[in-house]
Amino acid sequence: MTKLMIGCGYLGMRIAQLWREQGDDVIVTSRQSGPYQVFVCDILDPAGLEKLPAVDTVAYAVALDRTSGQTMRAVYVDGLRNVLRHLPKPRRFVYVSSSSVYGQSDGAWVHEDAATEPREESGRIVLEAENVLRAELPEAMILRFAGIYGPGRLLRHKAIVAGEPIVADADRWLNLIHVMDGARAVLAAEARGRPGSIINVSDGQPTARRDFYVELARLLGAPPPRFVAPSAEVPLPPHEQSNRRIGNRRLAEELGFAFTYPSYREGLAGSVPHAAG
């Protein structure tokens, strides 16, 4: 079958790789040529989308390139709307969203039927994009990802190596998914997901920020991390303000998904070069 990967970045490239390994014909969108069959376009330029190819499956994993000069709303909302208006309707459409659409901050477990009342502007934009997709293509599957990590993307890696203090509440929950399990989850949703379903993509093993960063420092051979309480002078960064535990019941039970990296411990050990045992 022919598959189209829209947004071939850190996650999207691995989705394309898995498709190719199972024998699919893979097309990726890009603003420049690359190792796959490429449809060169910019999602913010509708004229360049008029010849989007007809395919069996689309995976959509567009993220904001902060060097582009574009706003998050333009990329997430306007770009998606442009694509949907020009894309021949596929058999399957899997959309990579974010668990930032949840606004809970009391440490409770959050499942797919929980209220979506994001407190951060970024979460409100992500939810707006979901609503655009649901209105235009109601059978699309929405995958709400926890924080993606893996080789080459380790939270606060440079700060920990440099021994810089971390402004955070060390006891707040952190929800994660290894990039390769995230890519495999997209393929599982494509194969077994119900049309129109919403699925949380998280390893289901929330950890305190303290435990994660202590383990990362150990594997990096760096000093134990130092946490600094937020203050009026040094406020808590927006992405550190959430405090919830993302459940993955649909991923595990409905899709029968088995994790290669069932928690951050296995995931970090497989992501840090020359990790110590």
pLDDT, one tens digit per residue, over 181-218 is 999 999 999 999 999 999 999 999 999 999 999 999 99
Cα dihedral 61, 192, 93, 128 sign: negative
Does residue 32 have a pLDDT over 80?
no
Residue 228, strand partner residues:
167
What pLDDT is attached to residue 113? 96
SS3 192: helix
The mean per-residue pLDDT over the stretch 54-65 comes to 96
Closest listed residue to residue 24, CA positions, set 156, 191, 169, 240: 191
Whole-prediction pTM: 0.95
Which neighbouring-strand residues pair with 92? Answer: 57
Task: Tell me the residue type at 152.
Answer: G
Q: Determine the residue type at 6.
A: I
Mean pLDDT of the chain: 93
Mean pLDDT for 36-64 is: 95
- The whole-number pLDDT of residue 201 equals 98
246 within 8 A of 205, measured Cβ to Cβ: no
Residue 178 has pLDDT above 70, yes or no: yes
Q: Check residue 33 and give its pLDDT.
A: 67
Lookup result for tokens 């208006």: 85
Q: What is the pLDDT of residue 275?
A: 61
DSSP-derived 3-state class of residue 183: helix
SS3 258: coil
pLDDT confidence of residue 96: 98
Q: Which residue has the tokens 């490429």?
A: 38
Q: Which two tokens stand for residue 171?
A: 């006891």
The percent of residues above 90 in pLDDT, for the chain, comes to 86
What is the architecture, at CATH level 2, of domain 2-151+177-204+245-259?
3-Layer(aba) Sandwich (3.40)
